[in-house]
């Protein structure tokens, strides 16, 4: 169909349209609304044959989505931030139902204070639910990931719901040239959903979400979810290979940028890694051997790929766009856990940046590169730090003066 200038939200909607989704329960929240408005318009003008319903809350929306998925309809829904948290209870429940629901989350910082700018505390809050998590850098990747997510979720070796994540504003509202795949090609990649495993029918009664009394049984089911999530790593390779054959675009569980000969590595997720890549490119021009590693999957966590990619590196700086209050960066902790048993592990530095959509400047990246180099020279890793410039602090101080607090 050729290329069109699409926002991240528009690209997500196109993914849903091309996947020929049957059912979309929806609830509006900024910055996600453009996705459901676009789908609603297509259904209204007849260009998409699906059933759309605006629910009374995200809690209800996720319930309806999971229930429809359990009934055998290919189902999509989307949310953001507080909405995701409002539906949190049902995120766990729906994952436990083992249904192949695909949901887009458009990341936005969490209250309080309330904000519209993005960071990843929303999506990372549901990290342990059983939903797989794919994190996107570009609008193209959003569209492609929605299609791949259905392939992955509906595979009988996986049967877990998937969240596709993008940054609010930076990606949701940024237009990029996006290749819209041909419908027939998409059908050959993602055939019509004909569930074999479990669905509600008159002739074949089924009980779903049944209580278990006792930890023996509970542990069994939870561990089955874990194994299915681990299976997804292998299945995803097949999905990526097939996707590349059909559409020519190559994806993996991680994205490596100038990594092969790098001595120092930035670890970032989502659209801010584009800033990181630009900083890496400039640093290379100055002779600093840096690269960037972007995990596309956070669940399942692609441990062996990450370990391989970081083998022999001197220092790794994780830039977390999230904060686990009282601990620090969440992905830093994940990386530390991943590398702990490695004999020749790189030094691991932690930075928190981009909270609530705060920019990360070129100077801040240079600061991080300096810290990595000095750590590897001295062997001393400084404590985790928040990226916050003098001028940003001045701006904040002015607001405090106005508020009468300074």
Partner 1 sequence: MDTSTIISIKELPPEENMLPGTAACAGCGGLLTLRYCLKALGDKIIIVNAAGCFTLLTIYPFSPFRNSWLYTAMACAPAGAQGVRDALDILIKKGKLDPEENLKVVVLSGDGSAYDMALSSTSGAIYRNLDFYYICYDNEAYGNTGFQHSGASPFGSRTGTTPPGKEVPVGSQLQKKNLFDIWNSHKPPYIATVSPAYPVDLMNKFKKAEQFKGPKLFISHIPCPPGWGFDPSRSVRLAKLSVETGLWPLKESVHGEVEHTYVPKRFKPVEEYLKEQERFSHLFKPVRQEDALKSIQEMVDEYWKKHEFLP
Task: Name the packing angle between helices 88-97 and 215-247 (round to 10°).
Answer: 80
Residue 90 CB, shortest distance to partner 1, in Å, is 6
259 binds partner 1 (CB under 8 A): no
50 binds partner 1 (CB under 8 A): yes
Contact segment (CB under 8 A) with partner 1 among 57-65, 294-302, 325-333, 357-365 equals 57-65
75 binds partner 1 (CB under 8 A): yes
Contact segment (CB under 8 A) with partner 1 among 173-181, 212-220, 252-260, 266-274 equals 212-220
Site for partner 1 in 11-30 (CB under 8 A): 22-23, 25
x/- binding map, residues 78-117, to partner 1, per CB under 8 A?
-----------xx--x------------------------
Q: How far is CA 72 from the centre of its chain?
A: 25
For partner 1, give the closer residue by CB, 198 or 373.
Answer: 198
Residues 331, 318 contacting (CB under 8 angstroms) = yes
219 binds partner 1 (CB under 8 A): no
212 binds partner 1 (CB under 8 A): yes
Q: Which two tokens stand for residue 183?
A: 């419908």
Using the structure block, give the residue that is written with the tokens 């890694």.
273
For partner 1, give the closer residue by CB, 1 or 206.
Answer: 206
Give the interface size with partner 1 as a residue count (CB under 8 A): 44
**CA 338, CA 226: separation in Å to the nearest integer?**
17
For partner 1, give the closer residue by CB, 14 or 27.
Answer: 27
65 binds partner 1 (CB under 8 A): yes
Q: Bridge-partner residues for 257, per DSSP?
A: 292
Q: Which of 134, 147, 216 is nearest to 179 (CA)?
A: 147
For partner 1, give the closer residue by CB, 40 or 55.
Answer: 55
**CA 331, CA 298: separation in Å to the nearest integer?**
9
55 binds partner 1 (CB under 8 A): yes
x/- binding map, residues 159-198, to partner 1, per CB under 8 A?
---------------------------------x-x----
210 binds partner 1 (CB under 8 A): yes
Q: Bridge-partner residues for 163, per DSSP?
A: 103, 133
Give the HSE-up count for residue 198: Cα atoms under 13 Å, Cβ half-sphere.
16
How many other C-beta atoms are found inside a 10 Å radius of the C-beta of residue 40? Answer: 17
36 binds partner 1 (CB under 8 A): no
Chosen residue from 1, 3, 57, 191 binding partner 1 by CB under 8 A: 57
31 binds partner 1 (CB under 8 A): no
**CA 172, CA 142: separation in Å to the nearest integer?**
10
Helix (H) or strand (E) holding 163: strand 162-167
Helix (H) or strand (E) holding 191: none
Give the HSE-up count for residue 187: Cα atoms under 13 Å, Cβ half-sphere.
5
For partner 1, give the closer residue by CB, 35 or 50.
Answer: 50
Say whether 47 sits in a helix, a strand or coil: coil
Task: Name the packing angle between helices 8-18 and 33-44 (round to 10°).
Answer: 40
Q: Interface with partner 1 by CB under 8 A: which residues?
A: 22-23, 25, 49-51, 53, 55-57, 59-61, 63-73, 75, 89-90, 93, 192, 194, 200-203, 205-213, 217
């Amino acid at each position: 169909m050729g290329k069109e200038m699409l926002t991240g939200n528009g690209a997500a909607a196109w993914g849903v349209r091309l996947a020929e989704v049957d059912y979309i329960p929806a609830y509006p929240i900024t910055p996600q609304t453009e996705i459901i408005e676009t789908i609603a318009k297509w259904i209204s003008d007849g260009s998409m044959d699906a059933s759309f319903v605006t629910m009374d809350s995200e809690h209800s929306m996720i319930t309806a989505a999971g229930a429809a998925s359990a009934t055998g309809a290919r189902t999509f829904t989307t949310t953001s931030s507080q909405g995701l948290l409002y539906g949190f209870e049902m995120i766990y429940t729906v994952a436990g139902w083992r249904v192949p629901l695909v949901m887009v989350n458009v990341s936005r910082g969490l209250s309080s204070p309330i904000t519209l700018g993005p960071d990843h505390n929303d999506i990372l809050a549901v990290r342990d639910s059983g939903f797989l998590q794919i994190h996107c850098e570009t609008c193209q990747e959003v569209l492609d990931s929605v299609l791949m997510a259905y392939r992955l979720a509906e595979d009988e070796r996986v049967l877990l719901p998937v969240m596709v994540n993008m940054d609010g504003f930076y990606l949701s509202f940024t237009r990029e040239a996006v290749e819209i795949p041909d419908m027939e090609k998409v059908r050959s990649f993602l055939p019509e959903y004909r569930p074999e495993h479990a669905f509600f029918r008159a002739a074949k009664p089924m009980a779903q979400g049944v209580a278990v009394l006792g930890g023996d049984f509970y542990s069994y089911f939870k561990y089955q979810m874990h194994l299915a999530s681990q299976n997804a790593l292998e299945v995803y390779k097949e999905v990526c290979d097939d996707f590349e054959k059909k559409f020519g675009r190559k994806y993996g569980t991680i994205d490596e940028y100038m990594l092969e000969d790098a001595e120092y590595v930035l670890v970032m997720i989502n659209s801010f890694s584009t800033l990181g890549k630009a900083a890496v490119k400039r640093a290379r021009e100055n002779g600093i051997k840096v690269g960037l590693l972007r995990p596309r999957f956070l669940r399942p966590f692609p441990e062996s790929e990450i370990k391989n990619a970081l083998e022999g590196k001197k220092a790794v700086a994780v830039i977390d766009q999230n904060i686990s209050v009282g601990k620090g960066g969440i992905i830093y902790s994940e990386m530390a856990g991943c590398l702990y048993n490695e004999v020749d592990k790189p030094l691991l530095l932690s930075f928190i940046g981009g909270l609530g959509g705060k920019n990360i400047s070129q100077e801040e990246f240079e600061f991080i590169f300096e810290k990595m180099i000095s750590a590897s020279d001295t062997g001393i890793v400084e404590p985790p730090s928040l990226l916050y410039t003098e001028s940003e602090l001045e701006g904040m101080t002015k607001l405090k003066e106005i508020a009468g607090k300074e």
